[in-house]
Amino acid sequence: MIVSYSSVPVVGRFAPSPTGPLHFGTLVAAVASYLQARHTDGRWLVRIEDLDPPRVVPGSAAALLSLLEDLGFEWDGGISYQSTRFERYRDILKELRRQQLVFDCGCSRREILASAPHPGEEGPVYPGTCRHGARGRRRERSVRLRVTDEEVCFVDGIQGKQQQNLERDVGDFVLYRADGVFAYQLAVVIDDLDAGVNQVVRGTDLLFSTPRQIWLYRCLRAQPPAYFHHPLVLGSAGQKLSKRDGDYTLITVANGGRMLWLALDFLGQVPPPELAGATAAEVLTWGRENFSIAAVGCENRLVGF
């Protein structure tokens, strides 16, 4: 079923992980989600995805939020933190278990790799070993959501029509990890659902996982948001740009205007050359007035700094 969001107010969001300072790849995601929401007079929420405590860099969330504010980004409502929502995630798992939609799994990654029918894009496809009772040797248990061979189809606002058979391409997938951490696939769906998010703009590194999230929405009898997956910024070696790529990719108040101009240019918006020397606030104002999601390309690519 295709649902149109044209008649309801847009609610977008930006959901960074607090694993270090703001770098250019994350800035592109912030700009794309912010301007797509604001250009349609929608709301824009910010959520800190501090789901996995060992990966969190102390102080990075506060520094990132302060920098976004200094650059002229304005969000609606308070900041949401995944680390405060664990009880909510537990309640959802209990409900899914009550409906017999999830099961415990004792398989290690090595056991799955040894018995998987074929490798998937993100690793071995889970073969359903524990569907009728945990059989793996590991004492700790993960919790997996059952899938079927039904095709999950959706139209991405940038990448076009997408289709995936979860049973063939992924298998029953994890909602709660054996090490006691809630999985991203569970948290992101519940967070967006509870916040009323109906528009998700993010990078193509998350495109392959979107059918899993849509499947979970179906299990919860809820409508998924409209998805827009923008291209990734690539480093010089062709890999996804990250904090490891050096200080030249990091964003500061001093270089914010220039970096925002580069982000708009990367997203196909063709900002005026004279705007490259403007303030961050001036660049964002131009973006709000001129942003077009139709101009954003599909292919991941390098950017020249």
Q: Average pLDDT, whole number, for the chain?
A: 91
pLDDT of residue 1: 34
pLDDT of residue 248: 60
pLDDT of residue 2: 37
Q: What is the CATH code for 86-184?
A: 3.40.50.620
pLDDT at 113 over 70: yes
Residue 175: name the closest of 83, 109, 94 by CA.
94
- The helix/strand/coil state of 167 is helix
Residue 260 near residue 283, CB atoms below 8 Å = yes
Evaluate whether 11-83+231-302 and 86-184 have a shared fold. yes
> What is the per-residue pLDDT across 235-272, written as a single tens digit (0 to 9) for each?
765 667 665 555 568 899 999 999 999 999 999 999 99
Name the CATH superfamily for 11-83+231-302: HUPs (3.40.50.620)
pLDDT of residue 232: 95
Residue 300's pLDDT band (cuts 50, 70, 90): confident
d(CA 273, CA 161): 34
> What is the per-residue pLDDT across 131-143, written as a single tens digit (0 to 9) for each?
988 776 667 899 9
pLDDT at 85 over 80: yes
Q: Name the pTM for this structure.
A: 0.92
pLDDT of residue 262: 96
Which of 29-43, 100-114, 125-139 is modeled with the greatest confidence?
A: 29-43
* 62's tokens: 């506060």
Enumerate the H helices of 109-231 as residue ranges.
109-115, 166-169, 184-195, 210-219
pLDDT at 122 over 80: no
pLDDT of residue 3: 40
- The residue type found at 93 is L
pLDDT of residue 5: 46
Which of 110-114, 178-182, 191-195 is modeled with the greatest confidence?
A: 191-195
Please state the domain extents for the chain: 11-83+231-302, 86-184
> What is the per-residue pLDDT across 35-73, written as a single tens digit (0 to 9) for each?
999 998 999 999 999 999 899 999 999 999 999 999 999
